[in-house]
Amino acid sequence: MIAALECLLFVAGEPLLLTDLARALQAEEIDVEVALRTLQGELSERGSGLQLLQIAGGWQLSTRPEYSETIARMLSRGANKLTRAGMETLAIVAYRQPITAPELEAVRGVSSGGVLKTLLERRLIQEAGRKETLGRPILYTTTPDFLHYFGISDLSQLPILESDGPVPAPVTAEDAADGRLEGPDDESSDLDLAAVETKTVEVDAASDSEAI
Amino acid sequence: MLIPEMPHFKTPAFEGPLDLLLHLIRVNEVDISDIPIAEITDQYLAMMDVFESLDLQIAGEYVLLAATLIEIKSRMLLPQAPPLAGEEPEEDPRAELVARLREYQLYQGTVETLRTWEELRRGLYFRGAAQETDDYILPVPEGEATPLQLFHALHRLLSEAGVDEKPVTAIIPRRRISVRLKMAEILRKINAAGADGLAFENLFILPCPRFDLVLTFLAMLELLRLLRVRARQPRQYGTILLYGLSAEDPKVNTG
């Protein structure tokens, strides 16, 4: 099943849902999930240039972060990074969605039509109906592309809002919840991601104990 | 109320008046809940002078906040009337502004994190969309219908249509049906189907002239665009179902 799974992940150009994978493999979702995690571990153990991510609600193969420079020497990135105004607007939409332009502008204190347009064009936000108030303003929500842009799987991974202090990082690399993925081989190269993984383990442990 | 000639200019380095105000609060190292309003207002106005001396136009929002600051300052200068019996003591004139600043600061606090994530994620590369997409169609997430699938469905219908069509040499009477009319008609149909949804195929009464078919399809697209109708495809290659989006079911696709 793992080899078949690898095929599916290879042909897809977007994150694949567990249900779709299960249907294609004619297997139970739970078995597919086990296989996904096994594949994730295998890729890491054999020092593959690829890794398996949980991103934008699905599963997708990506290159490992330590090879980004190599790749950048061959491919050049098209899209520009978000401006500060874009980032700020996106953050507000993400937490307050669905939100209208006037509501957004009330928070930011500036008119935001241009920024919204840019974010729409980049498909980081989308229109989601209209608010049934005076003028029926358009409501905006974030898109799956938004999750993908920040490398997170769902909105619950957004940092908790607090006025001061840094916020924990997301699961950007392999889901480190099961510790076996932290092989000795990736210690040196991706320090940042190692830190990320440790954080995640802590968070998960905390939520587990709460559940009990 | 429109203010004529609102300058479209963005003050450099600040994302807006709230950003500038927060900057001043930070620089002065004062408590956000106890802003020394007189000093901060003076500094804010001084900054506006600087902008002006640099020959930068000042966006209306900055002027608005300046007016708010001056108003708060003047209210704070007035002696507080002792609260009358049974009356709430007057609220701190700064309270509303503080609440706004706090909320703004809340979101600003996450920007740095998002920036880090953006950077990390940009170090990862993904395979682009699959090549030769004519050979296969990727599954549609969560039963959504894509434009391509709608197109395929139309194509299927078109191949079955035209059965009753007269040869092109026939004189065709001018039809007066508009897309708008058709929209009303199919919206009634879809809404009548209720929660079960109306199968895409059932929009059309076959056989019918291609003209009708295309008109119906256009009307449906228009309804989709206006978010009056929602299309779903529960199973891959299955029937596309159409649902009316009435006011009580504003399904919002958070993603």
Would you call A60 an interface residue with chain B, using a CB distance cutoff of 8 Å? yes
Q: Closest CB to B117: pick one of A11, A128, A150.
A: A150
Would you call A3 an interface residue with chain B, using a CB distance cutoff of 8 Å? no
Q: Is the pLDDT of residue B13 over 80?
A: no
Could A75 and B123 be called an inter-chain contact, meaning their C-beta atoms sit closer than 8 Å?
no
CA of A32 vs chain B CAs: smallest distance (Å): 17
Q: How far is Cα B109 from Cα B113, in angstroms, rounded to an integer?
A: 8
Q: Is the pLDDT of residue A202 over 70?
A: no
H helix intervals, A46-161 = 68-74, 84-96, 101-108, 113-121, 144-150
Q: Is the pLDDT of residue A182 over 90?
A: no
Q: Which residue has the tokens 């682009």?
A: B128
Would you call A108 an interface residue with chain B, using a CB distance cutoff of 8 Å? yes
Higher pLDDT, B154 or B72: B72
Could B106 and A126 be called an inter-chain contact, meaning their C-beta atoms sit closer than 8 Å?
no
Q: How far is Cα B212 from Cα B205, in angstroms, rounded to an integer?
A: 9
Half-sphere exposure of B209 (CA within 13 A, CB side): 10
Model pLDDT for residues A90-114, shown as the tens digit of each residue? 999 999 999 999 999 999 988 899 9
Closest CA to A158 of A170, A149, A146: A170
Please report residues of A whose CB lies closer than 8 A to that of B111: 84, 87-88, 91
Mean pLDDT across A133-148: 92
CA–centroid distance for B77 within its chain: 42
Higher pLDDT, B109 or A199: B109
Could B253 and A63 be called an inter-chain contact, meaning their C-beta atoms sit closer than 8 Å?
no
Q: How far is Cα A92 from Cα A86, in angstroms, rounded to an integer?
A: 10
CA of A13 vs chain B CAs: smallest distance (Å): 4
Higher pLDDT, A136 or B147: A136
Model pLDDT for residues B14-26, shown as the tens digit of each residue? 888 899 899 899 8
pTM of the full structure? 0.60
- Which sign does the torsion angle of CA A179, A183, A186, A188 carry? positive
Would you call B61 an interface residue with chain A, using a CB distance cutoff of 8 Å? yes
Q: Is the pLDDT of residue B10 over 60?
A: no
H helix intervals, A12-83 = 18-25, 29-45, 68-74
Contact map slice: B 166-205 vs A, CB within 8 A: none
Q: How far is Cα B248 from Cα B114, in angstroms, rounded to an integer?
A: 35
Mean pLDDT across B34-46: 90
CA of A30 vs chain B CAs: smallest distance (Å): 18
Could B114 and A90 be called an inter-chain contact, meaning their C-beta atoms sit closer than 8 Å?
yes
Q: Residue B90 CB: number of other CB atoms within 10 A? A: 11
Mean pLDDT across A9-18: 88
A104-126 per-residue burial string, b: 16 or more CB within 10 A, e: under 16: bbebbbbbbeebbebbeebebbb
Share of chain B above pLDDT 70, in %: 69
Task: Answer for the pair A199, A190: CB distance below 8 angstroms, yes or no.
Answer: no
Helix H or strand E encompassing A198: helix A191-211
Q: Which residue of A has its CA nearest to B254?
A: A141
Please report residues of B whose CB lies closer than 8 A to that of A64: 124
Q: How far is CA B60 from CA A16, B45, B104, in A?
A: 47, 14, 19
Task: Answer for the pair B204, B213: CB distance below 8 angstroms, yes or no.
Answer: yes
Q: Is the pLDDT of residue B54 over 50?
A: yes
Task: Answer for the pair A158, A152: CB distance below 8 angstroms, yes or no.
Answer: yes
ipTM of the complex: 0.71
Could A151 and B121 be called an inter-chain contact, meaning their C-beta atoms sit closer than 8 Å?
yes
Q: Closest CB to B16: pick one of A110, A139, A163.
A: A110
* Best residue of A19, A83, A88 to probe chain B, by most B CBs closer than 10 Å: A88
Task: Answer for the pair B235, B196: CB distance below 8 angstroms, yes or no.
Answer: no
Q: Which residue of A has its CA nearest to B6?
A: A111
Task: Answer for the pair A98, A128: CB distance below 8 angstroms, yes or no.
Answer: yes
Higher pLDDT, B187 or B82: B187
Q: Residue A29 CB: number of other CB atoms within 10 A? A: 14
The confidence score (pLDDT) of residue A88 equals 93
Q: How far is Cα A90 from Cα A69, in angstroms, rounded to an integer?
A: 28
**Length of chain A, please?**
212
Q: Residue B242 CB: number of other CB atoms within 10 A? A: 24
The confidence score (pLDDT) of residue A53 equals 94
Q: What is the dihedral of CA B188, B190, B193, B199, to 10 degrees?
A: 150
Please report residues of A whose CB lies closer than 8 A to that of B253: 126, 128, 141
The confidence score (pLDDT) of residue B5 equals 44
Q: In sequence order, what are the residues at sequence separation of 6 or more whose Cβ sits closer than 8 angstroms to the Cβ of residue A212?
A: none
Q: Is the pLDDT of residue A192 over 50?
A: no
Amino acid at residue number B252: V
Q: How far is Cα B185 from Cα B179, in angstroms, rounded to an integer?
A: 10
- Which sign does the torsion angle of CA A169, A170, A173, A174 carry? positive
Model pLDDT for residues B160-196, shown as the tens digit of each residue? 665 555 555 656 566 666 788 888 888 888 888 878 8
Q: How confident is the model at residue B89 (pLDDT cuts 50, 70, 90)?
A: low
Mean pLDDT across B4-8: 43
Helix H or strand E encompassing A58: strand A58-63
Q: How far is Cα A144 from Cα A167, in angstroms, rounded to an integer?
A: 22
Would you call A157 an interface residue with chain B, using a CB distance cutoff of 8 Å? no
The three-class DSSP label of residue A138 is strand
Could A87 and B115 be called an inter-chain contact, meaning their C-beta atoms sit closer than 8 Å?
yes
Please report residues of A whose CB lies closer than 8 A to that of B130: 11-13
Model pLDDT for residues A64-79, shown as the tens digit of each residue? 999 998 988 888 766 6
* Best residue of B10, B125, B131 to probe chain A, by most A CBs closer than 10 Å: B125
CA–centroid distance for A178 within its chain: 19
The confidence score (pLDDT) of residue B27 equals 87
Would you call A143 an interface residue with chain B, using a CB distance cutoff of 8 Å? yes
